[in-house]
A and B are shown apart, each in its own frame.
Chain A
Amino acid sequence: MEQPFRLKAGGRIDRTRPLRFVFDGKGYSGYAGDTLASALIANGVHLVGRSFKYHRPRGILSAGAEEPNALVQLGLEPRLVPNARATQVDLIHGLEADPVNCWPNVRRDVLAGLGLAAPLMPAGFYYKTFLASRHLWRHVFEPLIRRAAGWGRVPEDPDPDVYTHRHLHRDVVVVGAGPAGLAAALAAARTGARVALIDEGTEPGGSLLGQTRTLDGHPADQWVAEGREELSHLPEVLVLTRTTAAGLYDDGTTVVAEERLTDHLTSHGGHGPRARLWWLTSKTVILATGAHERPIVFPENDRPGIMLASAARTYALRYGALPGKRMVLFTTNSAAYESAIDLQSRGLRVEAIVDARPDPSGPHVDMAEALGIHIHKGCAVTATDGRHHLESVEIMLLSPDLRTVQAPRKLIECDLLCVSGGWSPVAHLYRHAGGQVEWNAEVRGFTPVPGPGLPRVVGSAAGTHALSQALERALTAGAEAAREAGFGDGSASSAPRVTETDALDGMDLWRVSDQPGDGGRAIGRPGHLSFVDLQNDATAADIDQAHREGLTNVEHMKRYTLTGFGTDQGKTSQVNGAVILARAVGEGPEAARLTAQRPPYTPITFGTLAGRRVGGLLDTVRETALQDIHRDLGKNGGAVFEPVGQWLRPRFYPKAGETMDRAVARECRAARQEAGLLDASTLGKIDAQGPDVVEFLERIYATPVASLPIGKVRYGLVCKDDGMLVDDGTLARLEETHFHLTTTTGNAAWTLNWMEEWLQTEWPDLRVRLTSVTEQWAVLALSGPKAREILAPLAPGMDLSVEAFPFMTWRAGAVAGIPARVFRVSFTGELSFEINVPWRYGPALWKALLAKGAPLGLTPHGTETMHVLRAEKGFILVGQETDGSVTPRDLGLGGMLKTKRDFIGKRGMARSDLQRPDRKVLVGLRTDDPAQVLPEGSPIVEAMSSARPLPMLGHVTSSYLSPMVGRVIALALVKGGRERLGQTLQVPLEDGDLAKVTVVEPVFWDPEGKRRDG
């Protein structure tokens, strides 16, 4: 029979839309509006999973986010969802779900026998054994444990879905759209405030949905519908459903929430993003996050068919699905009687109510008695039976101190045991914001302690269980929050009249002993475990043991027993565990401390967190104005690029059939013999100006600034306060108080930040403005003996002669008709002009230069050739010759340092270790084998041996085959290197070989510097 447990009528499901789905390989049907859990219940399926440690059969405990048991692997490749909570999965047609942690299926699980080994697997058993050998642990025991652990499977394929983020500012954000949240949002929205109301459910209404009580004489659903209707007409209101507030950040001002957009529509991916991450930043936040019903800890409290009382009622009333035929209610409070009464009225037979209170009273108690339900007062469930589903419960009388139970035993046959041990307010987000909770004896739960700067909490999250009171306080809170944000006068309309449930006049029963007359200690007899954390199989006996072993702090207990460690993060176990521990110590619940609650409230998809910034969009790709030209250049599809920071720079431009070595050799020769052209636009460029700019730059640069005349350029070094070189570049003085600075490509952003940090935090008195102009100037470096000949016809107004335009000066003028700044600096040692033109003219300049230059041999080259050329000259590359431990002196640049004026790094350099004569310094290396390129990074030793550790003298920083020098050249940092000039050292190679090298001066080309003027 289809859906044998489905009620004939009622519930917020659409009976006109039947849906087929598959669970554990078997087909079922449900209705639109069902969750996977409610559809399974309608089909009489309760066994949905196996527990973590003992592989015990487990059923559906709850109807919401707190579910510890009903985890399923959802969907098909590539859209698998591991560890979905069946209680929060919207049923869709064709849904496929499988239980996790069992094989081959949930009924015949091969590891089901592990429960028998429970005595050998108490809390933390793995700390006490497998000690003998780290290899046995790594290769035998640990793999066994790993294979047994874990829930779902990781998808085999990459995720085909996309995710997105959205940021929004609000005046009031209300989390939770149950009665209190809805009321708060209405009160706030009526003032005209911008309100966001978010709820994890499929529709607003929360605990009111499908309920029997009335508001102002109308069914609860009608009040909810009217509220939704009103909100939908207010233009400044945003209502988000299927949206879970994951965390409260930034001092309680930003609610981060995941909105699930397509999973409920189709199983094969929807249009648009699968989920959206909301960053809702608001002036005030109201938390109406409700409360979770608490299970009671008693022996064998984990069978399928044991369910929270409120969940059973929700399944019947909201989903029209009966979770059983014959039920027993085990409760500590009168509120849960409502479940028994409602379920009986829906055709379920209530065999008994087992009330831990010796003398329960109240309207619902009277009503239950009037219905002929037998109430066992002062009793508790002490055992349960049934292999895959509950078949009976055993009850006994509680002793007056509640710590033991007394005969006679009574057996009651039933297939549903509803349990209610009270309610735990959900204060998750409150605690993210730094809020505290404390035991509230009246509410019998931990309620938020109000404090300055903390969000408002309303409804059962604040411990207000009476509906009329909750509505009234929520309306007030909503109006006040709006007033705080500048809307309305704080007054709210009056709350509707409601039919009230019984107050929570319960008692505390944290744990039922299974040992008559024993001192309340439940002992881990096989099959008689009292579970606290159902997901992780943490038992009350485990907590006892943790206490005995001295782990009396609740955080230690949590970590030792794994209570609250699961995907549910202890929503149904945290309070029970904390109080059971407190009682073991000899204290009451008021002394209990809860473990920290941290984001997210429920697990949040990685893809949602990442948003759009994954894969190719992980980081911006920066391109120069010439990128298209680089791509097109040459016949084989253009340049070969290399990533340099965020940039993609041409590394070399191979011609057809050319290897990198040959291309680079060709490019190098051209630059040395005719001319080369490099796109140097990626160099960091900073425009620095202001009355105090000279003073500022003097402090930043280790090299002199003030003496630089207008029109001249100088090489500059930037050090950190520890005296280590961190960046280099040029300074050009444009005007008295105006400089054009360049930095390395990779460090451009860092260097500007470094300058800004000093300017803003240490020297705010200096009047200086720094502006990044990296992407305002396209830079082409024209270099080589024919550079002047090529440039001259393009810059007729510019006298390029050595006398008129000497080395290390700059001139403004037109190049190829484009306004340009031309700098006579050289990174190759050849005559060079670095031509800066407005970014968009870069391609035009490139084309003009090549048109004139190509006949003269002008050849574009990439970074690889640039590296060879500069290494031939012994010019350093920051990040290659430096690593944060190298000073300018180490690089032979000490002569450039200021001696009188102060600068960042001056004191650092004065320290004794930086003056040591045997520091590692820059030298050149000549390999014995002229063709032996040394792998960069290779260590340098005096003499290789098998001794370890073997002292290293330094390492190879750069090594290239130099076509002009005709052999391999190398730069290195070597201890006391200047004193070692002429010495032979060894470079051990990866394959065990040795390269012999001679220490030489680090300049291999034109040591006299004759070529720079052409």
Chain B
Amino acid sequence: MRHSFFSLIRNALGHHREWPPLWRDPDPKAAYDVIIIGGGGHGLATAYYLAKEQGLGRIAVVEKGWIGGGNSARNTTIVRSNYLWDASAHLYEHSLRIWEGLSRELNFNVMFSQRGVLNLAHSLHDVRDAHRRIRANDLNGIDAEWLDPTKLASYCPLLDISPEARYPILGATLQRRGGTARHDAVVWGFARAADRLGVDILQHCEVTGIPREGGKVTGVETTRGVIKAPKVAIVAAGHAGTLAAMAGFRLPLVSHPLQALVSEPMKPLLDCVVMSNAVHVYVSQSDKGELVIGAGIDPYAGYAQKGSFSIITEQMGALVSLFPRFSRLRMMRSWGGIVDTAPDASPIIGKSPVEGLYLNCGWGTGGFKATPGSGQVFAQTIARDAPHPLVVPFTLDRFTTGALVDEHGAAGVAH
């Protein structure tokens, strides 16, 4: 059933009893052409594009819990493409362009809203880096502009731009095409669309082993039995390292908790995304009215999906300093996820040391924005057993060659 306003009216007449399941709940088949490990946004997008654009027929997504229950459900939903390095800029811009038509493509409103993303500059160093990034974005065909404090004050009047601030705001970069999307809807939209193309979504199906023969992957061992496939893809943020270990190799990833939180729902007030690295916090307001707030990772490595309270108090100090009017609002809920981060803070996409086993991991704190683009280029990489041109810079062997895409140092854009 296609979604539309008319189908909504038609179903209202039937008391909404006729809506079909968004996706089926099939039993695992004995074998597939491709098995995707990880039912998050990236995994489901990969399955969708494999089925839609690569013409592969038998595809399964195996998920140890419920789809979208990992980082897809735990991020702060920011979408932008204003990265410094060419390789990143091209990949994220590719993704942003897909975002712009995604609701229609999936026939599911992912609530992608181009409300603009601000990155604040608090020092001469920040200003220099911001300028560098804007100019690089421009030459890469990505919209970017500089707002001086006066323009910034009219664009986002909530910000405290007084020069007396501890770290005064000297201006900001703005990507108007950036924004936010509804993270659950992205997962469900891709799941529904993939399911319609015949993809089996297998929830509560945890991978316990990755069997190989003669250096080639042969499928996966799961809590729902052995499933065969000549091609297997690891798309499991937070657990890429443990899955790689099952396949007998190590990844240059470190896993850290990352927390986020929301305020109580408020009447609409903040109509853009604000990010600051120096006064470390980022915030947007959801359609339901909550301020969605994130900051930095917990410094210690770990697999627990929760973090330290001190991190939250620090980020709230930053938030209230930037937005003095927010002080009397209240935190309604906080949560944590696990981010797999590579040494250069860029993702690892492509082939693995095991034949037939592919990797899409290491997105660190910034993977959500790449969801559709990542799925699309990764699908082609799997289908053709060769990296898509956009992921060539992101293959695992960059750690051998040294051709890193270091987004840590680059303009300090950590997210």
Contacts and interface: CB of A to CB of B under 8 A. Distances in A.
Interface of A: 79-83, 119-120, 122, 125-132, 134, 137-138, 142-143, 145-147, 149-159, 161, 165, 247, 249-250, 254, 256, 277, 279, 432, 521, 523-525, 541, 545, 548-553, 555-556, 559-560, 562, 565-567, 569, 596, 598-600, 603-607, 609-611, 613-619, 621, 642-644, 721-724, 746, 879-880, 882-885, 908-909, 911-914, 935-939, 941, 948-950, 952, 955, 988, 990
A606 B331 contact: yes
B228 to A, nearest CB: 26
Nearest to A160: B327
Contact of B128 (A137, A880, A988): A880
Given A127-B109, A722-B344, A938-B135, A949 B141 contact: yes
Contacts of B343: 721-722
Contacts of B318: 618
B268 A146 contact: yes
Interface string B8-24: 11011101110111111
A521 B344 CA distance: 54
Contacts of A250: 308-309
Contact of A158 (B263, B324, B400): B324
A80 B265 contact: no
Interface in B213-255: none
Contacts of A151: 264-267, 289
A120 B279 CA distance: 44
Contacts of A604: 330-331
Contacts of A145: 287
Given A120-B8, A606-B331, A152 B267 contact: yes
B70 to A, nearest CB: 11
Contacts of A949: 86, 89-90, 139-141
A610 B317 contact: yes
Interface in B1-37: 3-5, 7-9, 11-13, 15-17, 19-25
A145 B289 CA distance: 10
A721 B184 CA distance: 39
B165 interface: yes
A127 B3 contact: yes
Contacts of A948: 139-141
A523 B5 CA distance: 20
Contacts of A150: 265-268, 288-289
A119 B313 CA distance: 43
Contacts of A605: 327-331
Given A138-B114, A607-B320, A559 B184 contact: yes
Nearest to A911: B402
Contact of A609 (B25, B129, B269, B316): B316
Interface in B98-127: 100-101, 103-104, 107-109, 111-115, 122-125
Contacts of A559: 73, 184
B198 interface: no
B386 interface: no
A553 B203 contact: yes
A912 B86 contact: no
Contact of A120 (B9, B113, B130, B410): B9
Q: Interface size bucket, B side?
A: 35 or more
Given A127-B188, A137-B113, A618-B279, A555 B69 contact: yes
B389 to A, nearest CB: 13
A155 B309 contact: no
12 contacts: A129-B4, A147-B267, A154-B267, A566-B265, A606-B331, A610-B316, A908-B402, A936-B128, A937-B132, A938-B135, A950-B140, A952-B136
Contacts of B164: 616
Nearest to B278: A643
B333 interface: yes
Given A131-B104, A937-B135, A541 B16 contact: yes
B107 A134 contact: no
A552 B140 CA distance: 44
B52 to A, nearest CB: 18
A574 to B, nearest CB: 13
A532 to B, nearest CB: 16
Contacts of B203: 553
B354 interface: no
Interface in B142-199: 146, 160, 164-167, 179, 182, 184-185, 188-189
Contacts of A617: 166
A988 B4 contact: no
A264 to B, nearest CB: 16
A189 to B, nearest CB: 26
Contact of A131 (B107, B124, B165, B400): B107
The 9 tightest CB contacts between A and B, nearest first, are: A884-B409, A150-B289, A937-B132, A911-B402, A550-B21, A948-B141, A159-B327, A158-B324, A603-B330
Contacts of B266: 82-83, 150-154
A615 B140 contact: no
Contacts of A613: 313-314, 317
A363 B108 CA distance: 57
Contacts of B108: 127-128, 131
Contacts of A524: 15-16
B165 A615 contact: yes
Nearest to B11: A122
A146 B289 contact: yes
A157 B179 CA distance: 27
B355 interface: no
A199 B282 CA distance: 33
A883 B410 contact: yes
Nearest to A726: B409
A551 B22 contact: yes
A269 to B, nearest CB: 12
A609 B312 contact: yes
Nearest to A948: B141
Contacts of B320: 159, 606-607, 610, 614-615
A607 B309 contact: no
Contact of A142 (B22, B113, B132, B139): B113
Nearest to A536: B288
A249 B308 contact: yes
Contacts of A277: 313
A142 B111 CA distance: 8
B131 A937 contact: yes
Contacts of B303: none
Contacts of A548: 16-17, 19-21
A510 B46 CA distance: 41
A156 B314 CA distance: 24
Nearest to A71: B264
A125 B325 contact: no
Contact of B332 (A129, A549, A603, A884): A603
Contacts of B146: 990
Given A119-B15, A150-B267, A605-B328, 9 more contacts: A129-B5, A138-B115, A152-B267, A548-B21, A552-B25, A600-B334, A616-B164, A911-B402, A937-B130
A149 B289 contact: yes
Contacts of B392: none
Interface in B257-286: 263-269, 279, 285
Interface in B384-413: 398, 400-404, 406, 408-411
A122 B324 CA distance: 38
A125 B400 CA distance: 49
B103 A134 contact: yes
Contact of A606 (B9, B115, B128, B330): B330
A120 B317 contact: no
B325 A158 contact: yes
A908 to B, nearest CB: 6
A603 B123 contact: no
B139 A885 contact: no
Interface in B306-362: 306, 308-309, 312-314, 316-321, 324-335, 343-344
Contact of B328 (A122, A432, A553, A607): A607
A434 to B, nearest CB: 8
